[in-house]
Structure 1
Amino acid sequence: MKFDFTKLKEMNDLDFEQVASWPFEVKFVVALVEAILIGVLSYYLLINDKLPVLEKEQANEIELQRNYEAKYRIAANLKAYEEQLVRLQADFSSMLKSLPTSDETPGLLDDITYVGTSAGLKFKLLNWQQEIPKEFYTELPIQMEVEGSYHEFGQFVSNVAALPRIVTVHDFSIKQDGEVLKLSLQAKTYRTAAAGTVSGGQTK
């Protein structure tokens, strides 16, 4: 059916009691305007207030999807995680065994003295310093000063690093006093946080 725009001129003379006799073009335009008005009113009265809720739920849906994907990856690799956990626990247990207990820490001074004198060094100072508590362990610094040659210093540091208990060496300082070389350094050993305290000692 051809749309006759000239019929729209009759809209000003239409009788609303004779809607059935209105031209098709006029009925179409009136229905279109009513549909637009109903759509606009429906949007502002029914939909507009619900949009923030919809946006919140959409964001929540995305977050839930991410959580699901993360949990799915964990579940899919659960066996590998369990095996890795067993390995980590074994490594942690092995490391704990390498940390001296409160009964063993005084013996470390004897061990350090032994490897030092075996390397040809002469001890001038061997002293426990203040303990430093950490979250999972306690740090036990040892300040020492020795006299000897460069070769003896190197042998000594190598022997300290090879001790069965964990001992690290820090803050090297070498000075020459006449014909004598003096090495000052700090060694650190570690004890689990749950272990007892260490009494300080000093050897000169």
Structure 2
Amino acid sequence: MSDPRADGLVETATRLFAQLGYDGTSVQMIAEAAGVSPAVLREAAGTKAELYLAVMRHADDLEQRAVRAAITSFTPEIQGVIALAEAFLDFHASHPDVLALWMQRWMGDAADVPGLEELYTRPLSALVTDRVRQVVPDDVDADHLTWTVVWCVFGFLSGGITYTGDATAPVVRPVRGQGVGAPRPGDLARFRQHLRTLLFHMLTPC
């Protein structure tokens, strides 16, 4: 997108696609939220599908920068894998809309805009798993270990958790509203420690 108005439209569309899904968001809704007419939106950003592709491309750019920075400093040891996992956790904890966009796709959203997993998810997953494979014991599947981190992080950030033994706070502590958001610092620290412990035991040979 070369139109200078496009950046603002991508930002607005990101928020709406994350909250409502691609299928649940109309061009009219995006235009109204951005304060422009549908005609101006189409002129600046193209069709709804083209705007969605720009949104997902921007989301991937952000994630690539965060994860690739951790890959650059990776060391082939347990702590190196933990650092990769924490970079992934920190990125999605601070970018809830990116997480929500992918969660929407996991639920079948934007089925008429296929191929984004092959374009964005597979290359980064393969890059991370190549590093992880240098460290895993023989009885651990590197692909499944990588995705165990993804599943855990997405589940924690999108669904919250039920803690026991805390009578002074709500038992169920989901993230912001319905969808995803930032967990409380104490909950994030507790999950971070769990992730470290999980990976340490998974990567320590029996």
Normalised by the shorter chain, which TM-score bucket? under 0.3
TM-score (normalised: structure 2): 0.22
The higher radius of gyration belongs to 1
Higher helix share: 2
TM-score (normalised: structure 1): 0.22
The answer to which structure, 1 or 2, has the higher relative contact order (CA under 8 A, 6+ apart) is 2
